Amino acid sequence: MKTTRLLPWILFFSGILIYVVGLWHACPLLSGKGYFLGALMTGMFVTYAYQRAVNLNQNDECFTSICKMVASITLGLLLVGIWNIPLAPIEKGLYPAAFFVCLVGQVLLLRPGQNEQNGES
């Protein structure tokens, strides 16, 4: 059965758009915008690095622990930033959800397809 590759792209770009556009309007200062953009980029980088190592079978226990540590720090920074910014309660849940939707889309994009794993074209 052939699966579509459109869903991961939709998840990835919708997560980025909701996160970036929403927080761009919510943060009055440029430093706040950079803070949340840095959290998104760090989360995307650690997800990319870990998924690439898994795909190439080059990950070890030390690398996995470092990726988990960086992901935990990034998540903590994101949650502290969301907690301290003056937003409506619905927005305080929306932006972390958009962050995770973006990362899920990225993981699905980087994961090899089922057809490629079975040797089919």
Please tell me the distance from the alpha carbon of residue 39 to that of residue 36, in angstroms, as a whole number: 5
Question: pLDDT tens for residues 8-46?
Answer: 999 999 999 999 998 888 888 888 899 999 999 999 999
Kindly report the pTM of this predicted structure: 0.83
- E-state strands within the chain: none
The pLDDT of residue 111 is above 70: yes
* Sequence-distant (≥ 6) Cβ neighbours of residue 98 within 8 angstroms: 14, 15, 16, 18, 19, 22
